[in-house]
Amino acid sequence: MIEQEHLPRHIAIIMDGNGRWAAKRALPRVFGHRTGVQRVRDIVEACCDLGVEFLTLYAFSAENWQRPAMEIADLMGLLEEFIRREVDELHANRVRLNVIGRLSDLPSRIQEQLRDAITLTRHHTRLCLNLALSYGGRQELVDAVRSIARLVSQGSQSPELIDENTIARHLYTAGQPDPDLLIRTSGELRLSNFLLWQISYSELYVTPTLWPDFGRAEFEQAILEYQRRDRRFGRSQSPAVPSAPPPDAS
């Protein structure tokens, strides 16, 4: 049973494996992406039901622009369809939509639709859904450094007073807690430039399941596994976890 009091506040997901899912069925990749969108709906719904406060989904990376133009067009088409079909439902369910990444890289029509959806849902507090679009962790750090440097050059930020909080405040995720749990589907053991700063102490859950097959049951399994972890943050083992008995305990 999921314990409500130890729920991860923020879950981030690298939704990978759509292409392999389609290839296994001898279908074009877009079918995998299309089925993947349905899983987005399921996982958002699960977060609302469970009470997860922040969900960050890696939907399109800065590096994904290197894919064939046809696949990019398919992905942008699906994104537009998602916004058109789902925003009313997100609004009705009190979900706040937010985008992290370089929004200005996206086709202008999609930028407008996203801005409208962000404005429409901006006061909701049940779940904050961050869609990572044209997102790269290094690019995010570059953007943060640029904005801090601007403040320094204007004289409104002293270099000596820059600390971790200053940097966090200039990231796309400013004001949000760091992810407690990072899930990656389809088994790759890498971060692919996702949330490099924010996941320094996230618990990792990597599953061979391909994203279009990742349902609510496995999502809940991932949360259960997270709840069994001992998050030490560099401290010694917490006393709640039984340690070896002392030598005279027999």
- Say whether 16 is catalytic: yes
Task: Supply the minimum distance, in Å, between the C-beta of residue 171 and ligand IPE.
Answer: 18
Q: Tokens representing 46?
A: 């699960």
- Interface stretch with ligand IPE, choices 8-16, 81-89, 137-145, 155-163 (CB under 6 A): 8-16
Helix axes 108-120, 69-92, angle to 10 degrees: 20
Number of residues that bind Mg ion (CB under 5 A): 1
Nearest residue to ligand IPE on Cβ basis: 19
Spatial distance between the Cα atoms of 84 and 100, rounded to a whole number of angstroms: 19
Say whether residue 203 binds ligand IPE (CB under 6 A): no
CB atoms within 10 A of CB 91: 15
- Say whether 64 is catalytic: yes
Say whether residue 190 binds ligand IPE (CB under 6 A): yes
The item of ligand IPE, Mg ion, none sharing an interface with residue 173, based on CB under 5 to 8 Å by kind, is none
Q: Of 16 and 86, which has the nearer Cβ to ligand IPE?
A: 16
Within positions 32 to 71, which residues make up the interface with ligand IPE, using CB under 6 A? Answer: 58-61, 64
* The one among 49, 88, 188, 225 contacting ligand IPE by CB under 6 A: 188
Binding mask 2-31 for Mg ion (x = CB under 5 A): --------------x---------------
The item of ligand IPE, Mg ion, none sharing an interface with residue 198, based on CB under 5 to 8 Å by kind, is none
Do the Cβ atoms of 40 and 132 come closer than 8 Å?
Answer: no
Active-site residue identified among 18, 42, 49, 64: 64
Task: Supply the minimum distance, in Å, between the C-beta of residue 106 and ligand IPE.
Answer: 13
Say whether residue 205 binds ligand IPE (CB under 6 A): no
Could you give the residue numbers annotated as active site?
Answer: 16, 64
Contact positions vs Mg ion (CB under 5 A): 16
Interface contacts to ligand IPE, rule CB under 6 A: 14-20, 58-61, 64, 75, 186, 188, 190, 192
